[in-house]
């Protein structure tokens, strides 16, 4: 039997090209390709390979691997922040003779550019079931991806003979989470990945997931990424995975990639109790929602190894969150942040700037919220129309949300103002704060904008500590 892989799973995230400061988050490769690879291997018996681009310098290394392996199918996870690299990878895989499948939020929302760049199909929804059906169909067709073949597979988008984007017949099925195998993790590749983080002075971190879907109900959200029915694995099954990974690898910390980890107090208590029962000495972190945070569960989780929570914060403007039908208010953020600090946990904030209808006063309120809370780090995302968001799921639900069209037609803050706010927020809790303040002073001398002056007053290491009332 040939060693040629039937499916090569890959993503296009390159840490070297990510401008987000490492001090305020721990960038990890997406789990989706590893989960899809494992499912396809289980369901079809296909020979699969997983390629991680995180620590590669550029896409030329992908050209080497796809030319050497010559996979029958290349499955590529796409995201708007990695679009340029992904487009190049599509062409490289096509030149290597592979059937090219694009998955992930960018290709799902914008299939046309990927299909015209050389992708044979775009897979939607969660992707595993459609990919498995595609593998079976292509085997029978000697790996020829005709429009007729693609049109019979639910969950695919493709170009017909006239260059029109078409949908596969029927509706794709969601996978049974109880049958989901663990993500594919190559031993050597995983060890190298962990050591790279250690070399950067960061914990050896692996991403894991306890569930799929999102239990929160926010009016702004399209639910296109995490809007599928919320399902969660049994606590014992999740702890089994953590225990096995701890035994197999020198893991310093686990990061739960769930959209919302701190949810369902009963599940969380069972999870914490299972860790303590097995006497696992681990550390982990996850996300929390201000409206659903149960402070009584923080203690048991901290005893089990919880060390940090990333708190959804969105905006410091009560009026803006109300207008956008958010499910919490800034007061909830302040209360949740205080509870997390009281539990002795690290705290990160997830903030958006450039929201539809955001005014100068709204942006000032967000900066004030960050200044008061003083988190260990801020993951701040520009979500104004046309701007690339960070390597996170929020891009799709924000930029393509129900109010996206409204945001394109309304007046919005200047890009320079948003950029300066983003730079200051990212500097909070990082070692780059003083350098960022110095760069801001130079920008201030050239631009002289009132918001920039306020930003410099608020920046770490500067005098003044202004408030929104002083932004003039």
- Cα–Cα nearest to 293, from 323, 263, 256: 263
Question: What is the reported pLDDT for 294?
Answer: 95
pLDDT at 158 over 70: yes
Question: What is the reported pLDDT for 25?
Answer: 42
What's 102's DSSP letter? E
Q: Would you state the structure tokens that stand for residue 155, as one six-digit string?
A: 């969950």
Task: Give the lowest-confidence range in 111-120, 194-203, 310-319.
Answer: 194-203
Question: What is the reported pLDDT for 388?
Answer: 46
Which residues, at least 6 apart from 68, have a Cβ–Cβ distance to it below 8 Å? none
Distance between CA atoms of residues 403 and 218, nearest Å: 12
- Cα–Cα nearest to 33, from 94, 68, 82, 88: 82
Chain length of the chain: 472
Mean pLDDT on 56-78? 94
pLDDT at 444 over 80: no
Q: Contact, 417 vs 462, CB < 8 A? A: no
Question: What is the reported pLDDT for 143?
Answer: 96
Which residues, at least 6 apart from 95, have a Cβ–Cβ distance to it below 8 Å? none
Question: What is the reported pLDDT for 280?
Answer: 97
Distance between CA atoms of residues 345 and 306, nearest Å: 7
Question: Environment class of residue 31 by beta-carbon count within 10 Å: exposed (0-12), middle (13-18) or buried (19+)?
Answer: middle
Q: Contact, 353 vs 380, CB < 8 A? A: yes
Angle of helix 128-140 versus helix 32-44 axis, rounded to 10: 50
Query: 309 pairs with which residues across the strands?
Result: 286, 347
Q: Would you state the structure tokens that stand for residue 237, as one six-digit string?
A: 């099954």
Mean pLDDT on 278-296? 95
Domains, the chain, ranges and CATH? Answer: 7-167 (3.40.50.280), 186-470 (3.80.30.20)
Task: Categorize the per-residue pLDDT at 221 as very low, low, confident or very high, splitting at 50, 70 and 90.
Answer: low
> Which range has the top average pLDDT, 27-31, 39-43, 223-227, 426-430?
39-43
| Cα first-last separation, the chain | 73
DSSP codes, 386-417: T----SSTHHHHHHTSTTHHHHHHS----HHH
Question: What is the reported pLDDT for 337?
Answer: 97
pLDDT at 452 over 70: no
Task: Categorize the per-residue pLDDT at 356 as very low, low, confident or very high, splitting at 50, 70 and 90.
Answer: confident
- Using alpha carbons, list the distances in angstroms from residue 468 to 364, 455, 458, 472: 5, 10, 10, 8
**What is the side-by-side order of every strand in the sheet holding 346-353?**
205-208, 253-256, 284-288, 306-314, 346-353, 377-382
- Cα–Cα nearest to 191, from 250, 267, 236, 263: 250
Q: Would you state the structure tokens that stand for residue 347, as one six-digit string?
A: 């705290």
**Chain centre to alpha carbon of residue 292:** 21
Q: Contact, 50 vs 37, CB < 8 A? A: yes
DSSP codes, 422-451: HHHHHHTTSTTHHHHHHHHHHHHHHH--HH
pLDDT at 407 over 70: no
- The overall average pLDDT reported for the chain is 82
**Chain centre to alpha carbon of residue 198:** 22
Distance between CA atoms of residues 298 and 320, nearest Å: 29
pTM of the entire structure? 0.82
Q: Report helix, strand or coil for 316.
A: coil
Q: Contact, 103 vs 76, CB < 8 A? A: yes
Question: What is the reported pLDDT for 18?
Answer: 67
- Cα–Cα nearest to 253, from 221, 230, 280: 280
Mean pLDDT on 228-257? 93
Beta strands 231-232; 211-212: pairing state: antiparallel
Question: What is the reported pLDDT for 332?
Answer: 96
pLDDT at 391 over 50: no
pLDDT at 222 over 70: no
Query: 107 pairs with which residues across the strands?
Result: none
Query: pLDDT digit string (tens) for 76-92?
Result: 999 877 889 999 999 99
Question: What is the reported pLDDT for 409?
Answer: 56
Q: Percentage of the chain with pLDDT > 90?
A: 55
Helix H or strand E segment including 272: helix 265-277
Q: Would you state the structure tokens that stand for residue 363, as one six-digit string?
A: 């942006």
Q: Report helix, strand or coil for 197.
A: helix
Task: Categorize the per-residue pLDDT at 186 as very low, low, confident or very high, splitting at 50, 70 and 90.
Answer: confident
Which residues, at least 6 apart from 465, have a Cβ–Cβ distance to it below 8 Å? 371, 457, 458
């Amino acid at each position: 039997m040939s060693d040629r892989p039937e499916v090569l799973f890959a993503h296009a995230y390159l840490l070297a090209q990510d401008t987000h400061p490492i001090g305020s988050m721990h960038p990890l490769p997406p789990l989706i390709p590893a989960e899809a690879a494992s499912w396809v291997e289980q369901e079809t018996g296909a020979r699969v390979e997983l390629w991680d681009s995180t620590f590669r310098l550029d896409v030329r290394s992908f050209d080497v691997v796809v030319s050497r392996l010559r996979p029958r199918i290349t499955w590529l996870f796409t995201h708007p922040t990695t679009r340029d690299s992904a487009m190049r990878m599509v062409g490289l895989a096509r030149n290597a003779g592979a059937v090219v499948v694009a998955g992930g939020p960018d290709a799902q929302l914008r299939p046309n550019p990927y299909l015209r760049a050389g992708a044979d199909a775009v897979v939607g929804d969660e992707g595993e079931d459609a990919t498995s059906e595609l593998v079976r169909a292509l085997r029978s067709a000697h790996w020829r991806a005709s429009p007729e073949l693609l049109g019979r597979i639910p969950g695919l988008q493709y170009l017909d003979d006239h260059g029109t984007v078409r949908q596969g017949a029927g509706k794709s099925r969601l996978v049974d989470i109880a049958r989901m195998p663990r993500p594919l993790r190559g031993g050597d590749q995983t060890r190298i990945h962990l050591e790279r983080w250690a070399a950067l002075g960061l914990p050896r971190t692996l991403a894991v997931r306890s569930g799929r879907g999102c239990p929160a109900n926010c009016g702004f959200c399209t639910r296109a990424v995490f809007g599928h029915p919320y399902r969660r694995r049994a606590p014992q099954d999740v702890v089994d995975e953590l225990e096995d990974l701890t035994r197999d690898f020198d893991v310093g910390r686990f990061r739960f990639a769930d959209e919302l980890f701190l949810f369902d107090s009963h599940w969380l208590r069972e999870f914490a109790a299972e860790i303590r029962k097995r006497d696992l000495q681990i550390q982990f972190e996850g996300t929390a929602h201000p409206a659903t945070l149960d402070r009584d569960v923080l203690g048991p989780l901290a005893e089990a190894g919880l060390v940090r929570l990333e708190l959804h914060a969105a905006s410091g403007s009560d009026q803006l969150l109300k207008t956008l039908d958010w499910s919490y208010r800034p007061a909830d953020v302040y209360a949740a942040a205080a509870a997390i600090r009281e539990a002795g946990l690290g705290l990160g904030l997830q903030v958006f700037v450039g929201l539809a209808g955001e005014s100068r006063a709204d942006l000032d309120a967000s900066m004030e919220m960050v200044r008061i809370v003083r988190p260990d780090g801020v993951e701040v995302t520009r979500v104004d129309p046309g701007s690339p968001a960070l390597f996170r799921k929020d891009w799709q639900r924000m930029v393509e949300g129900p109010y996206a069209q409204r945001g394109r037609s309304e007046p919005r803050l200047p890009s320079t103002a948003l950029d300066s706010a983003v730079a200051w927020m990212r500097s909070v809790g990082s070692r780059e704060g003083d350098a960022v303040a110095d760069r801001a002073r130079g920008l201030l001398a050239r631009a002289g904008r009132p918001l920039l002056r306020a930003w410099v007053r608020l920046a770490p290491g500067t005098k003044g500590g202004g408030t929104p009332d002083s932004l003039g």
